[in-house]
Amino acid sequence: MSKKIFLSGVQPSGKPHIGNYFGAMKQFVDLQNEHDGYVFIADYHALHSLRNPKEMSENIKNVVLDYLALGLDPQKVTFFKQSDISEHTELAWIFETITTMPYLMRAHAFKDAQARNKEIDVGTFNYPMLMAADILLYSPDVVPVGADQKQHVEIARDTAEKFNNTFGETFKLPEAMIIKDVAIIPGTDGRKMSKSYNNTIPLFAEYEEIKKCVMSIVTDSSGGIPKNVYAIHKLFRSEDELKKIYEEKAGKYKELKEMLIDDLEKFIAPLRERRKEFAKDIPKVLAILKAGSEKAKKVASAKMNEVREKIGVQVY
Ligand code: ADP
Ligand code: TRP
């Protein structure tokens, strides 16, 4: 039996932190063991918020380095860049012609932007159409996403059905695979770890940076157990083991933090070193992405030919 296929997109949005890793990145990398898959850099999606060309190019290179360092295997997963495959925007246009405005107005991302009284660009409004094209071009069985993206996968399903009903069976209906709610990982101030709160522990941090982040963890505690330190620590040791240690060292925040620094360093150091190795040869790393795009292009262009045939524009 052939393996199931997964597909997911990641926005090139800056330095990942350990919350991103346990909440999302790790799970994509783990999926490659049992699935064939596609992972792509959603650079055209990032244009909504990223309009600095230098930063865009840097972020794209950084995402490639991040995923290769984490062990994404380009032999198992087709790792590519959205903007290399013009079929994504082409198919999005076709979907836009069969989708109504009231339907897209129900999308959470649009409603959130509206609630924040933001001037909404047309791209944000049409975002679910581009995401539907991203997905449907590659006929995946499953699309692993965070809970916030579930509706977009449902929109892709609806759009596939609508197209199939109008023009005949063309697209496979994808299923969302909701990434398990690994408890939200708290940041150094106890709120959700997030780039926007400046409370992160970067995934590829240097030792000194790890130390600084851990030392800044706010030590609210009950019974001498600093709960924010514990919540991060339990990503690296079993709770049985940790409970004993934290009880023995109740109130000794400095010692507990030093232990967490050591555990983080043990976990991060090999990843950081791998990333540095890859970073020594950026042309080679970019060649990996380019080869992935060439593979993806073949699949996307075959699907697009089928679509052109179905809608009747293929007259020669
Ligand atoms: P940020 O909040 O830092 O901007 P993103 O919104 O870019 O992070 O999230 C990228 C992915 O990482 C999402 O799938 C999200 O669910 C996951 N993620 C982000 N922060 C955390 C966290 N603190 N705990 C668990 N998962 C997280
Ligand atoms: N919208 C997703 C996010 O913001 C990224 C994304 C774009 C995506 N296209 C996709 C994810 C297709 C899964 C499938 O995180």
User: pLDDT tens digits for 247-304?
Assistant: 999 889 999 999 999 999 999 999 999 999 999 999 999 999 999 999 999 999 999 9
Gyration radius of the chain over CA positions: 22
Q: Is 235 in the pocket of ligand 1 (CB under 6 A)?
A: no
Quote the CA–CA distance of 285 and 279 in Å, as a whole number.
8
Domain annotation covers residue 188: no
Residues 234 and 101 in one domain: no
pLDDT recorded at residue 182? 62
CA of 20 to the centre of ligand 1 (A): 5
DSSP structural state of residue 192: B
Residues 207 and 120 in one domain: no
Beta-sheet pairing, 175-178 with 77-81: unpaired
Quick one: pLDDT band at residue 27, thresholds 50, 70, 90? confident
Sign of the CA dihedral running 102, 104, 105, 107:
positive
Quote the CA–CA distance of 310 and 163 in Å, as a whole number.
10
In sequence order, which residues have a C-beta less than 8 Å from that of residue 180 and are 6 or more positions away?
A: 27
On whether the CB atoms of residues 84 and 91 are closer than 8 A, the answer is: no
Quote the CA–CA distance of 55 and 71 in Å, as a whole number.
24
Domain annotation covers residue 187: no
Quote the CA–CA distance of 229 and 253 in Å, as a whole number.
9
Q: Is 143 in the pocket of ligand 2 (CB under 6 A)?
A: yes
Residues 108 and 211 in one domain: no
- Domains held by the chain: number: 2
Residues 224 and 162 in one domain: no
Residues 302 and 204 in one domain: no
Domain annotation covers residue 316: no
Quick one: pLDDT band at residue 116, thresholds 50, 70, 90? confident
Residue 224 class from Cβ within 10 Å (0-12 exposed, 13-18 middle, 19+ buried)? middle
CA of 304 to the centre of ligand 1 (A): 33
Lookup result for tokens 């990032």: 46
12: enclosing H helix or E strand? none
For the ranges 132-141, 163-172, 217-226, 230-239, which has the lowest average pLDDT? 217-226
Domain annotation covers residue 151: yes
Residues 212 and 66 in one domain: no
> To 10 degrees, what angle do helices 207-215 and 253-279 make?
150
On whether the CB atoms of residues 21 and 53 are closer than 8 A, the answer is: no
pLDDT tens digit sequence for 71-90: 999 999 999 999 999 999 99
Beta-sheet pairing, 35-41 with 4-10: parallel
Beta-sheet pairing, 225-226 with 221-222: antiparallel
pLDDT recorded at residue 81? 98
Residues 36 and 125 in one domain: yes
Q: Is 20 in the pocket of ligand 1 (CB under 6 A)?
A: yes
Quote the CA–CA distance of 172 and 222 in Å, as a whole number.
52
Domain that holds residue 90: 5-182+282-311
Q: Is 8 in the pocket of ligand 2 (CB under 6 A)?
A: yes
Residues 272 and 167 in one domain: no
265: enclosing H helix or E strand? helix 253-279
pLDDT tens digit sequence for 87-112: 999 999 999 999 999 999 999 888 88
User: Domain of 111: which CATH number?
Assistant: 3.40.50.620
CA of 6 to the centre of ligand 2 (A): 13
Which atom of ligand 1 is least distant from the CA of 182?
A: 25
CA of 294 to the centre of ligand 2 (A): 20
Residues 85 and 149 in one domain: yes
Residues 62 and 119 in one domain: yes
Residue spans of beta strands (DSSP E) within the chain: 4-10, 35-41, 77-81, 142-145, 175-178, 221-222, 225-226
Share of the chain above pLDDT 90, in %: 79
Residues 138 and 115 in one domain: yes
Quick one: pLDDT band at residue 183, thresholds 50, 70, 90? low
